[in-house]
Amino acid sequence: MQHDAAALSAALADLEQRQLRRTRRIGLAPGLINFCSNDYLGLSTHPEVTRAFIDSASRHGVGSGASHLVTGHGPEHQALEDELAAFTGREKALVFSTGYMANMGVIGALADQNAAIVSDKLNHASLIDGCRLSGAEVKRYRHGDATHAGELMAALESEARLLVTDGVFSMDGDLAPLPELARLTRAANAWLVVDDAHGLGVVGATGRGCCEQFALSPHDVPVLIGTFGKAFGTFGAFVAGDADLIDLLVQKSRTYVYTTALPPAVAAATRAALRVSERESWRREKVLAHARRFSRGLAERGIGTAAPAADARVVTSIFPVVLGEAGRALEISRRLEDQGFLVMAIRPPTVPAGTARLRVTFSAAHEEAQVDALVSALAGALAA
Ligand SMILES: *Cc1c(COP(=O)(O)O)cnc(C)c1O
């Protein structure tokens, strides 16, 4: 791109013309029901979580004041890390300021120009960017295809190997074939890195995510990443693993070392969210029941989606309704909004060309009647 004003406006006009120009909305109009938030358990507004935030801010102030290795690491951060280690059944956990930074930092610390990474084609952008920035050789396998991953792994020359994948894929809501990937990485002596941003708090018998769903041990999944901005309703992220892994990240993760520590009040709120998510397990059951209800509702009305019916797969809080072209997805999204439902259209480059979609997400804050109303509105919008 040329560096002049005309080139910028041409680039914007080009995006506009292809219906790919993005805009931000400022908050939510009153009465609009939000079906695209990642606040799956409804914890972002939970009184216990907000109270923990306010109490901590009144005692410790707002900013952490420094990076973790200087003076930014306080008792709330440490307690949160200890609780996350216990929650995930791992020796240690390390809090990062965002999931994006956790992914960049973990991959950068474990892989360099001499390493090789095998990566799912539909991985989250932050994993993709982490791979790129590391300078390692990167091979991408077909989405969810462990056999293809194995073939790529076998062809690598480097001895330093990583396989990176989302646990629950953010745009499709499906799970990675983790048992196969774990077998493969153990046989190849490679690290398996799983980003379970959308699984933790929601998937697994007690909300411990994909590892629990598939009964995988820390040995199977040695590097587990989670975020707080999804099911836990706050902000930030963590990596969990054995003590040496975490200590290595403290030494070498540039996105850990060279950034300001999370505000302590966010750590305090996240501790409260973790407690509530465990105590109020009905939240997890409710969000998954909504996803099943929606899937059944679509099937009853003969509405096809690219996703397998909820009964035929592990249910998550994310349900994609693939519509094809970006314009079509935008149009259906607009019609739904006119009916009072906010469902974002997801377009390339976030998803592959020709698979623009509505990404419907459910929350424990929704009620059954709202899910039913969305099904009806969607049927109407598609028929119009
Ligand atoms: C949201 C998300 C991230 C980024 O986390 P932030 O804390 O929002 O930066 C990383 N990976 C996946 C799979 C995500 O969905």
Which residues are 117's β-sheet partners?
Answer: 138, 162
What distance in Å separates the CA atoms of residue 376 and residue 382, rounded to the nearest whole number? 10
What pLDDT does residue 381 have? 95
Asked if 43 and 231 touch (Cβ cutoff 8 Å), the reply is: yes
Q: Whose CA is nearest to atom 3 of ligand 1?
A: 99
Q: Look at residue 277 and give its three-state secondary structure.
A: helix
35 and 360 in contact (C-beta within 8 Å)?
A: yes
170 is catalytic: yes
Contacts of 345 (CB under 8 A, 6+ apart): 326, 329, 330, 332, 333, 356, 357, 358
Give residue-wise pLDDT tens across range 254-266. Answer: 999 999 999 999 9
Residues 6+ apart with CB under 8 A from 282: 364
Q: Considering all CA atoms of the chain, what is the largest pairwise distance in Å, rounded to the nearest integer?
A: 59
Q: Which CATH number fits domain 47-279: 3.30.565.10, 3.40.50.980, 3.90.79.10, 3.40.640.10?
A: 3.40.640.10
CA-closest candidate to residue 68, choices 286, 332, 323, 259: 259
Nearest by Cα to 322 from 307, 308, 344: 307
In the reported structure, the alpha carbon of residue 3 is separated from the centroid of ligand 1 by a whole-number distance in angstroms of 31
Per-residue confidence (pLDDT) for residue 307, from 0 to 100: 66
Active site residue 290: no
Residue 310 is predicted with a pLDDT of 64
Q: Tell me if residue 68 is catalytic.
A: no
Residue 203 to residue 188: CA distance in whole angstroms: 28
Question: Which one of 119, 134, 170, 333 is the catalytic residue?
Answer: 170
Q: How high is the pLDDT of residue 306? A: 67
Q: How far is CA 160 from CA 110, 217, 300, 351, in A?
A: 9, 22, 50, 30
Per-residue pLDDT tens over the stretch 184-225: 999 999 999 999 999 999 999 999 999 999 999 999 999 999
pLDDT of residue 1: 56
What does the domain layout of the chain look like in residue ranges?
26-40+281-383, 47-279
Q: What pLDDT sits at residue 260?
A: 97
Task: Look at residue 21 and give its three-state secondary structure.
Answer: coil
Q: What is the pTM of this model?
A: 0.95
Return the ligand 1 atom nearest residue 167 CA.
Answer: 13
pLDDT in tens, the chain (384 residues): 567 889 999 999 999 998 888 889 888 888 999 999 999 999 999 999 999 999 999 999 999 999 999 999 999 999 999 999 999 999 999 999 999 999 999 999 999 999 999 999 999 999 999 999 999 999 999 999 999 999 999 999 888 899 999 999 999 999 999 999 999 999 999 999 999 999 999 999 999 999 999 999 999 999 999 999 999 999 999 999 999 999 999 999 999 999 999 999 999 999 999 999 999 999 999 999 999 999 999 999 988 776 666 666 889 999 999 999 999 999 999 999 999 999 999 998 888 899 999 999 999 999 999 999 999 999 999 998
Helices (DSSP H) in the chain: which residue ranges? 5-17, 47-60, 75-88, 99-110, 125-134, 146-154, 178-187, 210-213, 243-252, 254-257, 264-279, 282-300, 326-338, 368-383
Q: Give yes or no for residue 197 CB within 6 A of ligand 1.
A: yes
For 61-111, the pLDDT digits (tens) are 999 999 999 999 999 999 999 999 999 999 999 999 999 999 999 999 999
Active-site residue (options: 46, 73, 198, 366): 198
CA of 380 to the centre of ligand 1 (A): 33
Q: Is the CB of 170 under 6 A from ligand 1?
A: yes
180 C-beta neighbours (distance < 10 Å), count: 16
Can you name the CATH fold of 26-40+281-383?
A: Aspartate Aminotransferase, domain 1 (3.90.1150)
Give the pLDDT of residue 352.
86
Quote the ligand 1 centre to 374 CA distance (angstroms): 26
